[in-house]
Structure 1
Amino acid sequence: MEELAGKLPSGIGYDWTGMSYQERLSGNQTPALYAISLIVVFLCLAALYESWSIPFSVMLVVPLGVVGALLAATFRGLTNDVYFQVGLLTTIGLSAKNAILIVEFAKDLMEKEGKGLIEATLEAVRMRLRPILMTSLAFILG
């Protein structure tokens, strides 16, 4: 916008108003808010699982969801606006939910059936793959 404003004749200016003004004000806060939300989610998961390593494994999925959403938006030529950020937040939530389900199933298999870590993880992925794909496709197509 500043580049276009530089080409305007003298005496003519521009001003941010309405939604654009609000986006410009709040746009600088987005990275800090994402970081705080990741910390809060991590601490909630740590309290839920009473472990520091299990929430870490769940949170490892979040960067993959973010990278996938950013690549898809870049290839489609979409702009980084409020709607994109809401969609990005929803994608992060969906990927974290799927990871929580897989970790929960694997944890139950390890505790109740005495399976090893890799065996329990593979079994949990096999059990949850179809529901995860159905949810993700409904999210993408719907």
Structure 2
Amino acid sequence: GEADKLTQTRRALQWNFILAAIIIYLLMSGLFSNFVYPFIILFTLPLAAAGGFIGLKLVNMFVNPQPLDILTMLGFVILIGVVVNNAILIVHQSLNNIRLGGMDYREAVLEATRLRLRPIYMTTFTSIFGMLPLVISPGPGSEIYRGLGSVILGGLALSSIFVIFVIPSLLMFFIKMERKN
């Protein structure tokens, strides 16, 4: 009955999560004409997922217990599309600095990170503060979207911190490896 439908929906959402990651990878491979750079960008997904689970755990501890229901799982799928944007900004700007600006790869990545820091944090804080009412608002029906909001809020918060440090480091490493070969 109802439990079987829930199990089927969970499986479908798990496959949707994987399918979304594959589609994003293929789109970015076409955008960058490279198969390595999308992996660097997709490295933000485990960080975002960890942040999503941390956000859900914090809501369970301090607000109200929230199950890992369908809307909460949908939050992870939404998180995939939102989180990669910050890493795309850094990678794309770095490659433009190298190709069009003639910069050394280290200088290009550091300059791209410096240039994109403000837009990344402005959009992240806007999204976080936009999700905050979903997470902390009391009242009838608020628990429906609380899980979704907490996953997106936690995932954005954690990934935006790491994207400034991890993505530039990985990008410099892979560009250096490409140049050696």
Asked whether the two chains share a fold, i.e. TM above 0.5, the reply is yes
Range with bigger deviation, 76-85 or 49-58: 76-85
Cα 1:100–1:28, aligned 2, differ >3 Å: closer, same or farther?
A: same
Runs of 4+ off more than 3 Å: 20-24
Output aligned runs, 1:51-90, within 5 Å.
Answer: 51-77=34-60, 78-90=66-78
Output aligned runs, 1:63-142, within 5 Å.
Answer: 63-77=46-60, 78-142=66-130
Mapped to 2, the partners of 1:124 and 1:85 lie a distance apart of 33
The two structures have a TM-score, normalised by structure 1, of 0.78
Mapped to 1, the partners of 2:36 and 2:9 lie a distance apart of 33
Mapped to 2, the partners of 1:73 and 1:134 lie a distance apart of 23
Q: In the TM superposition, what is the alpha-carbon distance from 1:21 to its structure 2 partner?
A: 6.3
Q: Secondary structure at the match of 1:113?
A: coil
- The alignment-based identity, stated in percent, is 27
- For structure 2, list consecutive stretches of 5 or more residues without a partner in the other structure: 61-65, 131-181
On the 8 A contact 2:13/2:74 being kept in 1, the answer is no
How many residue pairs get aligned? The number is: 125
Q: Which has the larger radius of gyration?
A: 1
Q: In the TM superposition, what is the alpha-carbon distance from 1:40 to its structure 2 partner?
A: 1.8
Q: In the TM superposition, what is the alpha-carbon distance from 1:42 to its structure 2 partner?
A: 0.8
Task: Select 2:26's aligned residue among 20, 26, 43.
Answer: 43
Mapped to 1, the partners of 2:80 and 2:27 lie a distance apart of 16
Tell me the equivalent position of 1:32.
15
Cα 1:79–1:117, aligned 2, differ >3 Å: closer, same or farther?
A: farther
Mapped to 1, the partners of 2:76 and 2:11 lie a distance apart of 16
On the 8 A contact 2:90/2:109 being kept in 1, the answer is yes
- For structure 1, list consecutive stretches of 5 or more residues without a partner in the other structure: 1-14
CA RMSD of aligned residues (A): 1.8
| One-letter identity of the residue aligned with 1:28 | R
| One-letter identity of the residue aligned with 1:44 | L
Mapped to 2, the partners of 1:22 and 1:122 lie a distance apart of 49
